[in-house]
Structure 1
Amino acid sequence: MSHLFSLAGKTAVVTGAGRGLGAAIANALSEAGARVVLIGRTRATLEEARVAIADAGGEASVEICDVTDATAVASTMERICRRQGRIDVLVNNAGISHRAEFSHVSEAAWDELMAVNLKGPFLATRAALPAMIERRAGKIINIVSVVGELGRPFIVPYSTSKGGLRMMTRALATEVAEHNVQVNGIGPGYFVTDMNRPIMADGPLYQSRVARVPAKRWGDPGELGGTAVFLASQASDYVNGQVIYVDGGLSCSF
């Protein structure tokens, strides 16, 4: 049974892989045997993630790329294919968030968030998908969010972007399933990451968020690894268009 979850010989590309959930996912894919390509804008954090994988016996490389730049994304994916031979797994993880009352959200902030969270996955997927279809094999994993399913105040742009990515996941799956390409999503709940530091620094706010989670705690980024490996592996070959919520039970409570 363990061979179903093996990624030996596979090349996995992870965007936003320098820290947080992206770094944890990249590490898990490496532990399962994949050659991992770490994509991001900050070389220092990407190199830290690469060294951590290498120190654990894995194989990782770094690509500096702004996922909102169509030309840069296309050339980066082409370069990865040329060096690695192919892209077997694409994890669209890069994302940002703005916390503000809706009426105070600037047009610039809205556009930036949509560019990273929604346009970025579109560009990366569009660049990687044709070769997957031609090869009749590929896994695309989009990191959405529990707030793409459930409404929360003060993060309307973020929720909108993740809701859009959730529907891109489901719709694209119906388009490419006949080519043996699986498109699925992971919906994290509250995790201990740099993006969530402002909430964690506000004691009452943090405790209110913890109280809403049936597990009564926030997740550790490493707890996304198993789901990512499952969706990247042969074990999920007949799973398509699904979003698996890794949220301590938050999405099924009220």
Structure 2
Amino acid sequence: MYGSTRLLRRLGRLLVYLGLMAIVLIWISPYLWMVLASLRDPSEPFSAGILPTRLRLGNYNNALRRASLVVAFRNSFVVAFSSAVLALVLAIGAGYGFSRFRFKGHGAMLIFLLIIKSLPGVLLAIAIFSLARRLHIFDSFVPLVLLNAMFNLPFAIWNMRTVFDGVNPELDEAAMIDGCSRLGAILRVLMPICTPGIAATFAFLFLLAWNEFMFAVTFISSPEKVLVQPVIASYVGQFAADYTGLITASVLASFPLILVFLAIQRYVISGLSMGALKG
């Protein structure tokens, strides 16, 4: 009886592992297809068969030799990093306020943040475009940083509020009794404790800003200031399309995101487990 029970447990565990492996394989299969397609000959981007007949590593060399793509990577990193930092700094303050204080309209303001997040950016694009022209900040990174930070701020505030909710308020009070100001308590006590949640929030803010397309097309016209998403879209023209180049550039554009998540992997996992992305 005991032996059969152990066997059933092992079989159950094996089935769970196989199920998880199948889910992971299904989840990453589109990306694997992109990687394999980027290694195909440009004349056969969608040929039959899973594996390419000949590996064409030169596709990546050709993509990197395209000056606009290299410049776009640099520009996108500047915009994504700057907007993520700006949104995170504002979200830490706002998230702390929503977590620690109860005031009139507290719940209504949180709902209002969700409403702002649900608004499509295209509704405001024309008005913001006109404003950028008047302020002479069109064709610069300033509107992109501000817009990405603004539209991603509700997401970040809800995340940081949940992070601070997981920390006992008595820690704040103890720090202030010891002589810290409220800002000092946040910087010296709460932020070290909440590092996983902060890192997870930053990673997703960077991801959202890096993948943004509409504002990058609308507010940038100079080739030296172009971002990576419009460059990828330029592989598809009105009468022809370079599908191999498109796929190769898309794979290259995913590498910075992978590196960011790998660099702060343990913080992201801890942040997810502590509920940084709930709400």
TM class, shorter-chain normalised? under 0.3
When the two structures are superposed, what TM-score results if normalisation uses the length of structure 1? 0.27
When the two structures are superposed, what TM-score results if normalisation uses the length of structure 2? 0.25
